[in-house]
Each structure stands twice: as structure tokens, then as C-alpha cells.
Amino acid sequence: MSVPHPDSLEPPRVGATLQALRQAQGLSLDELSRRAGVSKSMLSQIERNQANPTVAVVWRLANALRVELSELLGGEKPAAPAIEVVPAHGIPGMSSPDGKCLLRILGPIDMAGQFEWYELTVQPGGALESGAHEPGSREHLSVLAGQLEISAGNTTQKLKTGETARYAVDGPHAIRNTGKQAATALLVVIHP
């Protein structure tokens, strides 16, 4: 049996495993930092393989993620679960500057820039105004409750509950709530 030379040994790289476990549980860096008592900057460095954690840090991370220590030290990305559930608090969101529009990002982050889907809530008087996306991009908006008005190109169209609009977004476009009640919709953006 040959023994590797001590100079060729490297500590296990836990970055990819840590990131995969954290994302599978729908945890932000902030939440894992709070649970494990490890700084957010240290977690970020570990995930990018820019820092090797001590055994104590790996132990705290394993406990916070509720996995065996060996799973983190294995260095291999764990198999994706058959069903991945993202808890409601784990779904990121963005608000418009006026706070009247809320986009909940339903699609996985690794698909951003290709295929994105959101839950959009627009308060009365709110507008989600966007600049041009790359040529060939399209949006699909399905109104689940209330009514919305879409402007794209030189056209404006009103939509009521149950209706879907599909339109090019390679120019400025906007989604407005001109009604008296909040409106909710699913918004899908497809990039070429």
C-alpha cells in the first residue's frame, strides 16, 4: 500500500458541498451564519474554497444543517433530493422603488438570464416599469387575481383575472395596476 507524500495532501474542500446543502434547505448565508454562529464572510469564503474551516467550524455547520460531519467533509456534492422543497421564507423577493410591486423569485437562481418565473403582486396605482431586455426576450403574464395593464412596444392591453398575455420585451415595457384592488400574477421571462 502506498502512502501519499505529506506535501501532496490537501484538506477536504467543503465549499461545493456546503453551498449545495445550504441551497437545498433554502437557507441564505445570513440564516446559516445565525444558526451556526459563523460569520457570513467566512461562510462565503468557505463556499468559494478560499478558506478551509477548522474542525470546530465544520462541526457547527453540520449541526446547523442537520447533517453528519462526514457529509460535509466528503467533499462531494450530495445527490439532489427527489423532491426539493423551498420554504416560503426561503423564496427571495424584490420590491419596486415605491414599494407597490413585489416580485417573489420562484425560479432557481442558476436559471436567471435564461428562464425566470415570478409571483408578482401589484398594489393599486403601482407599476413595474422595465427597460429593454436582450433582443428576442419575451414575457408571459398570467393574472391570478385583480386586473393589470401591460404596455409593450406601442401597445397597451388590459388583462383581467384568468387571462394571459405574451409579449416582446426587447424594448421598454411596464405592468400597471389601474384597478382599486391588489393584483397578483405569474410572470415568466424567457431569454433567447
In whole angstroms, what is the distance from residue 182 CA to residue 121 CA?
A: 7
Second-level CATH architecture of 11-73: Orthogonal Bundle (1.10)
Where are the CATH 1.10.260.40 domain residues in the chain? 11-73
In whole angstroms, what is the distance from residue 68 CA to residue 52 CA?
A: 18
Q: Is 145 helix (H, G, I), strand (E, B) or coil?
A: strand
Report domain 91-190's class. Answer: mainly beta
In whole angstroms, what is the distance from residue 123 CA to residue 50 CA?
A: 44
Task: Tell me what pLDDT residue 85 has.
Answer: 82
Where are the CATH 2.60.120.10 domain residues in the chain? 91-190
In whole angstroms, what is the distance from residue 80 CA to residue 74 CA?
A: 15
Chain segment 53-111, per-residue pLDDT in tens: 888 888 888 888 888 877 777 654 556 667 888 888 888 888 988 899 999 989 887 77
In this prediction, residues 1-24 reach a mean pLDDT of: 67
Is the confidence at residue 114, as pLDDT, over 80? yes
Task: Tell me what pLDDT residue 128 has.
Answer: 94
Is the confidence at residue 9, as pLDDT, over 70? no
Which of 177, 93, 169, 173 minimizes the C-alpha distance to 130?
Answer: 173
* 135 confidence band (pLDDT: 50, 70, 90): very high
In whole angstroms, what is the distance from residue 60 CA to residue 66 CA?
A: 10
Helices (H) and strands (E) in the chain, counts: 5, 10
- For the chain, the straight-line distance linking the first and the last C-alpha, in angstroms and rounded, comes to 54
Q: Put the strands of the sheet holding 147-152 in their side by side order.
A: 127-130, 173-176, 147-152, 155-160
Q: Which residue has the higher pLDDT, 61 or 150?
A: 150
Question: Does the pTM of the predicted model rise above 0.75?
Answer: no
